Amino acid sequence: MNPSTPLRRLAPRCKALDATTSLPRAHFQTPLPLRQRRHASSSSDPPSTTSNPILEAYKRDNVNTPDLAAQQMAQAQQQMSTPGDLPASSIFEDDRRARAQQTQTVSEPISTEPPRDPANMARVLDPDPNARERWLRKKVIQMVRKGGRLSKEEFVKRTEREHLLKSENLKTSIKKLGMLARQIQGKGLEEAMVQMRFSKKKVAGEVLKVLEAARDEAVVMRGMGVGGAGTEIAAPSPKSGLIGAETTEPLSIQLKDGSRYAVKDESKIYIDQAWVGRGPYGKLPDYRARGRVFIMRTPWTSLSVVLKEEATRVREWREREAKRLKERLNKVWVPLPDRPVQGMRGQYYSW
């Protein structure tokens, strides 16, 4: 091509040449030594001068320990395979939780804690060993002297159950709470709870909570109220004409106030005693006219109840009946012997 050709003639020719010929595009390639260093295997690498001896020792000691990445992968797969959870309002939620807890309990490893040291425990459980030894020696001597016999109080404590509960301080006065205490004293526990449930007194709701707590503690701690499940105590009174047929009736006893009471189950709980106790006084402002403020003393009162079983009532009734019978027998009038009167002469003749 002549260099003197005008530029307007060269432009169409360059366009045609560009359309007919396709030149390969230039690509940037990494030099061969760098690519070899990046993709070469670890066996061909020279030994690293920046090795970590602590990490190598840890890997050498924990050969059987699974890799952390493998553990995370397994946990992720397990989570992906877990089915959908149930809503909290589902009726099957409680069953599912119980099964999961049981499975977790079974899969838990046995504790490897060291055994307890009796020397350390003795500092709290036995702070004064000499006093404990003297007390044990005293009790052994008493047992030997009595020959193993129990007193009446000890025998009652071992054969009968009772539970004492003192409530927290209630925001009421002694007079108001004392009325409710006298109302529930001597009644069965269930009957007393019904009385407090429908009472118009403001503090009756708190008394009901105290009775519920006392009932729960008596059942769990003392085993009261569960001894006669399905059994009844009764006096046999055959009223049927069939031979060998007997019908049982509740045992009728007389209480201390003279009223009659029928005992159907000796394990039922009743309120033997109920009393109130004075607590600390609080302070409450009483705003008056002309900017004056008086301080009122608000009383706080506690309630204490003693729960016992119907077996105690039966025993006390039998003891009273035996005492009454003994008094009647000891005071029976013995008539004089049938023999002639002597020494009654007086103004009469003796022939």
Q: In angstroms, rounded to a whole number, what is the distance separating the alpha carbons of residues 230 and 266? A: 11
**Res 84: pLDDT:** 61
Task: Determine contact, residues 264/250, Cβ cutoff 8 Å.
Answer: yes
Nearest to 222 by CA among 168, 178, 160, 304: 160
Beta-strand runs (E) in 78-141: none
Query: Residue 20: is its pLDDT beyond 70?
Result: no
pLDDT digits (tens, 9 = 90+) for 107-154: 555 667 788 888 888 888 999 999 999 999 999 999 899 988 999 999
Q: In angstroms, rounded to a whole number, what is the distance separating the alpha carbons of residues 218 and 272? A: 13
Range from 16-30, 91-105, 216-230, 285-299 carrying the lowest mean pLDDT: 16-30
Q: Is pTM, for the whole model, over 0.75?
A: no
Kindly calculate the radius of gyration of the chain based on its CA atoms and give it in whole angstroms: 48
SS3 content of the chain, % helix, strand, coil (to 5): 45, 15, 40
Q: How confident is the model at residue 242 (pLDDT cuts 50, 70, 90)?
A: very low
More confident residue, 348 or 169: 169
Q: Tell me the residue type at 124.
A: V
Mean pLDDT of the chain: 81
Write the DSSP symbol of residue 69: H
CATH class for domain 162-236+249-330?
A: alpha beta
Q: What is the DSSP string of 150-175?
A: PPHHHHHHHH--EEEEEPPPBSS-HH
Q: Tell me the residue type at 171.
A: K
Which strand ranges, in their side-by-side order, compose the sheet holding 162-166? 162-166, 301-309, 269-278
pLDDT digits (tens, 9 = 90+) for 24-51: 555 545 555 544 545 444 444 555 556 7
Query: Residue 231: is its pLDDT beyond 50?
Result: no
